[in-house]
Amino acid sequence: MPGIDECLLTAMTLPGARGAAIVDWTSGLSLGSVGDSPNGDHEATAAETAEVARAAAEYQAFAPLSDEPGGADTAGVTGAVRVTDAADGSGREGRAARAARAGRAELPVEDLMLTTRTGFHLIRFVETTFDSSVFLYLWLDRHTGNLALARMRLRDLSVRLVLV
């Protein structure tokens, strides 16, 4: 089972890999990075990709509470309490609160793909035994990268990754 460094080095062996990182999406901090960064700054890239990951994991448009269209139905529930975990005190219900209310711990989103004119950006969420707030980020060259292979390898790496 690979640790952070081994995981990143393995990700960089993929065809077209330009850079990789493991990021905590709640704080936006990089736990490790290797290769190049799209904007030349690994920490800025970590913070920016964390914003994208957070939006996908928290907003119901991308991650409804149930498999039914429109998400979970809480109408008619007496004494329902809205649990919030927004750090900014806004009262917005975050992923953790929605998952707890829905009675599940798994992440609602598996991975994200963003394509640009020059590259592919992949974010693969890592499920952990604690808070599942980590993702693998991979930047691929659009002309030499293999998007399908990269998704499969990131999936495998995310399952095997050991965070200590």
Where are the chain's structural domains? 4-63+110-160
Please tell me the predicted confidence (pLDDT) of residue 61.
81
Q: CA 72, CA 102: separation in Å to the nearest integer?
A: 8
Please tell me the predicted confidence (pLDDT) of residue 75.
37
Contact 68, 45 (CB under 8 A): no
Superfamily designation of domain 4-63+110-160: Dynein light chain 2a, cytoplasmic (3.30.450.30)
- Find, among 28, 58, 26, 27, the residue nearest to 45 by Cα: 28
Please tell me the predicted confidence (pLDDT) of residue 35.
97
pLDDT along the chain (164 residues), means of 10: 86 97 93 95 96 88 61 37 40 48 58 94 86 89 96 92 74
Q: pTM value?
A: 0.74
What are the residues whose beta carbons fall under 8 Å from the beta carbon of 59, sequence distance 6 or more? none
